[in-house]
Structure 1
């Protein structure tokens, strides 16, 4: 299944990944960095589902604007702190989005991610 995250366009990361980027082992990330990827993917998926009118997604606060800003800031921070390029970040986000594609996993992740969003001050 090909999952496209609309918010990846904010990074300009919808270009095809090089074979090296696809085959490289995932970098060692801190818990905070992994959380940023996890929640960024969750916000992108939920915002997309909210826009599509999915009832389960609409049960959460609207995450379109705030989620997008979290996504952009988190991914910029991740590139700076972990030294990753856009292709590497896109690969990590794609993998996380695939892990969260199941509605149960996605909606289970949202309470913690909403706390992270609130803590970010956005």
Structure 2
């Protein structure tokens, strides 16, 4: 199992690089290296999609993008979801860190198109554990 600190580092890297990376075209696939897309189940893809949504929403909020203020804020629960989901998919599907990163980047690119991020955020927010401190 991957260490939570390593997944937090991956989360921070993805969030920090999401905005500029999304402006670029997707790189061509490397020979002999799969993104993992064909190796994961629908449930695992949903976990990756919501993880990417939380990271992208966080990156947009941090950059001060005006439209990001209208997105729900997943906060620390979103970060925890990202870490746990990436580790789970990595373990269940037998993917490498590079394949997980490629999967997350592909989802982030898709979410950055149009208003896709705003459309998926409500469903993804429903996957987060309740915040007990707010009661």
TM-score relative to the length of structure 1:
0.74
- Say if 1:9 and 1:103 are closer, same or farther in 2 by CA, change over 3 A: farther
Which digits, 9 at most, give the CA deviation of each residue in 1:79-113, with x for residues without a partner?
A: 11111110111111111111111240111110111
The answer for the alignment partner of 1:4 in structure 2 is: none
The residue matched to 1:53 in structure 2 has which SS? Answer: coil
* Alpha-carbon displacement from aligned partner over 1:54-97 (angstroms, at most 9, x marks no partner): 23222233224221111000000001111111011111111111
Q: Secondary structure at the match of 1:116?
A: coil
Distance 1:32 1:25, change over 3 A: closer
Superposition CA RMSD, Å: 2.9
Quickly say closer, same or farther: Cα 1:80–1:24, change in 2 above 3 A: closer
Q: Which residue of 1 aligns with 2:64?
A: 53
Q: Distance in 1 between matches of 2:93 and 2:73?
A: 30
Instruction: Give the conservation status (yes or no) of the 8 Å contact 2:48–2:85.
Output: yes
Q: TM-score, normalised by structure 2?
A: 0.68
Task: Tell whether 2:96 aligns with 1:85.
Answer: yes
What residue in structure 2 maps to residue 11 of structure 1?
Answer: 10
